[in-house]
Structure 1
Amino acid sequence: MRQIAPVNCIRIAVCDSRHLARAGLIGVLAREPDISVVAEVWDAADVAGTLRTERPDVVVVSHDPLVMDGIAVAEALGSCPELASLGAGVLMLCDSLEHDELLSALRGGVRGVLPVNGDPYTLAAAIREIAAGAMLLKSPTAVGLINRLVSRSPGVTVVPGSHLARLTHRERDVLSLVANGHSNCEIAQKLTLSEATVKSHLYHLCQKLGLRDRAQAVILAYETGLVRACPAA
């Protein structure tokens, strides 16, 4: 499926190996005036090509480890400089994630995780947040995921806080706000900066810390203790 997206619409690629589920997602998103599905993908091997040709803002992936592995999709997109430069955010739909799977998802570049049986309003709102550059970390569900992420169980690498000494005070401020799920626009408003300056700070802090993207910056902020997870409501 391919359609011409109206100007200023959020461009979406829907990735699901199941035809009926894929059609259902497309039908739900078709009701949103500011969201346009420009591509549908049923084979994980086709996701990269779709990004190159359709340039979606957000890739919605129904996670199925056997057919459409959302974690592997995000890692493949993030590890390729050409694809990573396109800036598409990955929103993963899944029934459940184990601790190590969540960590792999965020490290791979997934910007948000929602349950498969979530409501259409929540899905549309999540897409808008991710398109704006935010991580989906504000809901009680997301807080619970982060709490599991930062619990010191086996397999989780704790990053020394000394890593943050490389950052300026302003870069630390930006990193903290990014980790709390704020978009570039929201950070600019809070710090009284231009959005371009926020992007510059984010770029430089990622360069200093050897981070690939926003998702990895969020993980480092929690692992160093710069940001603490709050109890879920």
Structure 2
Amino acid sequence: MEALLEGQGVEITLIYEGEHKVDGNPYQKLPNDVKKQFQLDLKNTRQMFAQKVADNIGMTVGDVLDTEAATYTGQEVVDIGFADELVNSSDAVELMIEHVNAQEKTIVNMGANMTTEKSKGKVAAVTVKEDAEANDEQLDATAIASAERGRVLGIMGCDEAKGREAMANQLASMPTMNIDDAKKLLASTPQVKNEDAGESDNAAKEALAALQAGHGQSLEQNGGSDATDDDKQVGLLLAAMGKKRNDG
């Protein structure tokens, strides 16, 4: 870019504060020291990512790095160790629900075991208060994340979502939408056949976008005693979107 602009008689002046403020800008040839720093940052980021992958799926860091950023599909993903098995989409939802339920039971059991051990006086002494607080925060974060996954999968995997997958996906993406309200909305929406899925998907997105854009309307206007069935559905959706979560 620098040579091209120079050939066209264009001179670029960068005005900045801080020696490295414009590192990597497109108007100047990349200096060697900046290139080396970019490469080092990239190497460190890749190492951290590989470590995170290895910790979560049971591979070694070396095996992850040996893929050299290649991509894989289908059975290749299983063979390389990045997945356990291949399943169709409907079975995947069920497996995810089972996994979330298992995690929730584990968290509950951990809490029960801690209470039992305390009652027997067998809990090891914690010498650093910050460590105990960090563990509590990690447990809380895990419980919250598990509950959110359960909410999303509960909406996408409910019976009412069958034939209404596009609508279920949109409702699940709303953090304030609970499972009961989502089921009511899905049940009031006609099911679609596979050949109509694309059209239904676009229609659902447009309808929800319109509802979100009109969020400022009062619930009385959308769900009053004289409202039509469609208006009542809108009122229900807006009410669900406006709820505040009470989980802490």
Scaled by the length of structure 1, the TM-score of the pair is 0.25
Greater relative contact order (Cα < 8 A, sep 6+): 1
Scaled by the length of structure 2, the TM-score of the pair is 0.24
| Structure in which a larger fraction of residues adopt helix | 2
